Amino acid sequence: MKKWRYDSARDLDQTLVERLRRFPREPDMLVYGLRSLVALIIRGWLRAYHRFEIVGHENLRDNGSFIMVANHSSHLDALCLLAAVPLRKLHRAFPAAAADYFFKSVPRIWVAAVVVNALPFARQVHVRQSLSICGELLLNPGNILIIFPEGTRSTTGATQDFKSGIGALVAGRDVSVFPCYLDGAFDAWPKGSFFPRPRKVRLIVGSPRNYVSRTAEKINICAIAAELRDAVKELGRNNGYD
């Protein structure tokens, strides 16, 4: 008789927290089920409490890998962008989250890994390494990367400068980049506030851009970051905000 080949999970000898912290995570049916359920609840909550509305939803009908880039002023932002992703693609949508904030304490790791499906992004120490993890992710068709290139939540609600890392990630890479503008999230749940307030939140999804023809030189990278920031701000301006 030929020997059976067991295809064990690669994180078998790791503790629960280590398993949640590692990336990419192993597929887990129970986690997927819980995440889908929580996503439905969050979508309901956003609709009812924040009268959440998505403009330009049809732009996201893309079966390849793509990146969503948005302004960042609130913890609601990642949840809103996730709410724009079709439910069947939910487990392949990865918001990049600060490793030094979301992957520190056990409850935060649990929320980040199970509910949000976050990609731990080491924004302070290993930026290059984190960017290469993002790049590998985009090689698999169907993965969605959600990035807030400001690097942190804005304390005033105004969109800050984009870090050049986003340029390094998309320059010369054949992926669609969707600029997105989030309006109202800052009023609803600003940094430092404990609980969200019932303010209207709107997400505007712009048309995709592609930077495959650009080279990854320093000057190019910074230009792309600035262009993307302008595109995001433009979306807000065209719709009467900012």
Partner 1 sequence: MMSPQIALHDPIFCAYLWIVPFSLIAGGALLALLKWGFKKEIRSMWRTYCSWLIMAPLALLVVFAGRIPTIIGVTLLAIFGFKEFARASGLYRDWWMTSAVYAGIVAVGAASLMSHPHGEEPGAGWYGFFAAMPVFAIALILLIPILRNRARGELQRMSLAIVGFVYIGWMFGHLGFLANTNNAYGFICYIVFATELNDVAAFTFGRLFGRHPLRCKISPSKTWEGAVGALAVSMLLPWVLRFSFPFFGVWQLVLTGLIVGIGGQLGDLSISVIKRDIGTKDMAATIPGHGGILDRIDSLIYVAPLFMHMANYYYRLR
Q: Which chain residues interact with partner 1 by CB under 8 A? A: 4-9, 12-16, 18, 26-30
Q: Which is nearer to partner 1, 67 or 114 (CB)?
A: 114
The answer to whether 97 and 103 are in contact (CB under 8 A) is: yes
Cβ 167 to partner 1 shortest distance, Å: 37
Q: Which is nearer to partner 1, 1 or 219 (CB)?
A: 1
Cβ 18 to partner 1 shortest distance, Å: 8
Of 236, 78, 64, nearest in space to 157 by CA: 236
The answer to whether 63 and 142 are in contact (CB under 8 A) is: yes
Distance CA 232, CA 227 (A): 9
Cβ 183 to partner 1 shortest distance, Å: 39
Distance CA 150, CA 77 (A): 13
Q: Which is nearer to partner 1, 22 or 209 (CB)?
A: 22
Distance CA 219, CA 129 (A): 21
CA quadruple 95, 99, 100, 103: dihedral sign: positive
Cβ 17 to partner 1 shortest distance, Å: 10
Q: Which residues contact 165 (CB under 8 A, 6 or more apart)?
A: 127, 131, 149, 225
Q: Which is nearer to partner 1, 29 or 219 (CB)?
A: 29
Cβ 123 to partner 1 shortest distance, Å: 29
The answer to whether 118 and 154 are in contact (CB under 8 A) is: no
Which CA distances in Å does 122 have to 86, 137, 175? Answer: 28, 16, 23
Cβ 32 to partner 1 shortest distance, Å: 9
Strands 93-98, 176-183: pairing kind? unpaired
Q: Which is nearer to partner 1, 91 or 199 (CB)?
A: 91
Q: Which is nearer to partner 1, 23 or 32 (CB)?
A: 32
